[in-house]
Amino acid sequence: MNNSNLLLRSIESTKTMTTEQETNGVIVGDGEDEILSPSDLSEMLAEGTKEAHDRAENCQFVKDFLRGHIPRELFKRGTAALYFVYLAMEEEIEKNKDHPQVAPIYFPAELHRCEALARDLEYFYGAEWQIQISLSACTKPYVDRIHNVGAQDPALLVAHAYTRYMGDLSGGQILKKVAQRALKLPSSGEGLNFYQFEGIHGHSGFKRLYRSRMNEIELDTDTKRKIVEESNRAFGFNMMVFTELEEIGKKIPEQAQEEAFGHGHAEIMQGEDINKCPYYVAKMATSGNPTYVCQFAKALLQHLPSQVVLAAWIALFAGFTAWYLR
């Protein structure tokens, strides 16, 4: 391999592994240098889906989620959508687990999420969760595509697995923390099993292993390009689901939104007057409520640095007026 073609992945400070070890049933990676070429599938995927990733990270639903604006109802529906997606994906991966282009990325014990999602749904919807959830209009084309790919072109399952599992092991971990805080979910992890990969010790090491396994798959350049294209398609399907959730969010009654958006302010401020919370008051003031506009002004005046800034402005204004009228 031409040296100028080699890339050393520098995203992570500890350099990479190409082999794996199993410790107590948990996969960990060792620390050899990972030498990558731009024609490696992992590099083609990372490069070829950059824009799609940026779009996904910056869509309104994800931005709101990251700010903790995730009503419980929406989180439940999002979990249900994921359940249908993983059900389809893991069913197809299972059917194709001996396929030479799927076998290297077959990690059921470490990655598969269906059971974890079922536990989360039981937590949110109760024992009858299965009859309470349904496949949404925007999740259906995603699920149909996964089944289609599994039956017609199993190599493309690599794209679907990459898009979801690598994302779950990366940004998903941020979402877990946000959801736990915003929805006040128990620290025991109930409702968040999806984000908890019990069989993986060290997400970065596992992601390196996964990349090296993707690179081991025997693929011609054309098929690699098709996998990148399919991954972009998978990002697109995820965006469709987010947009659908965002639309549903707009219809959720304000009361329910308030409970979730305010980080359960009423609960946080237990025994205290919620109107004393400057963030709550500022939020209500910006919504145009006159009571809160006055209260917000009062709160500002009680705030020492604000008083100093205000006094400076008044002095400046008085000085300017005096100079002007001279």
Residues of this chain that interact with ligand HEM (CB under 6 A) are 11, 45-46, 53, 56-57, 62, 66, 162-163, 166-167, 170-171, 174-175, 207, 235, 238
Query: What is the closest distance, in whole angstroms, from the C-beta atom of residue 295 to ligand HEM in the complex?
Result: 34
Are 212 and 131 spatial neighbours (Cβ–Cβ below 8 Å)?
A: no
Q: Say which DSSP state 183 is in.
A: T
Q: Which of 70, 41, 67 is nearest to 259 (CA)?
A: 70
User: In the complex with ligand HEM, which residue's Cβ is closer, 235 or 292?
Assistant: 235
Tokens of 127: 């024992």
Query: What is the closest distance, in whole angstroms, from the C-beta atom of residue 304 to ligand HEM in the complex?
Result: 36
Query: What is the closest distance, in whole angstroms, from the C-beta atom of residue 39 to ligand HEM in the complex?
Result: 15
d(CA 26, CA 100): 24
Query: What is the closest distance, in whole angstroms, from the C-beta atom of residue 169 to ligand HEM in the complex?
Result: 7
Please name the residues in contact with 251: beta carbons below 8 A apart, sequence gap of 6 or more.
Answer: none
Are 55 and 61 spatial neighbours (Cβ–Cβ below 8 Å)?
A: no
H or E stretch at 224 = helix 221-251
Query: What is the closest distance, in whole angstroms, from the C-beta atom of residue 168 to ligand HEM in the complex?
Result: 8
User: In the complex with ligand HEM, which residue's Cβ is closer, 162 or 261?
Assistant: 162
User: In the complex with ligand HEM, which residue's Cβ is closer, 63 or 276?
Assistant: 63
Residue nearest to ligand HEM (CB): 171
User: In the complex with ligand HEM, which residue's Cβ is closer, 119 or 164?
Assistant: 164
Q: Say which DSSP state 201 is in.
A: S
User: In the complex with ligand HEM, which residue's Cβ is closer, 78 or 295?
Assistant: 78
d(CA 105, CA 171): 20
Query: What is the closest distance, in whole angstroms, from the C-beta atom of residue 199 to ligand HEM in the complex?
Result: 18
d(CA 122, CA 126): 5
User: In the complex with ligand HEM, which residue's Cβ is closer, 57 or 198?
Assistant: 57
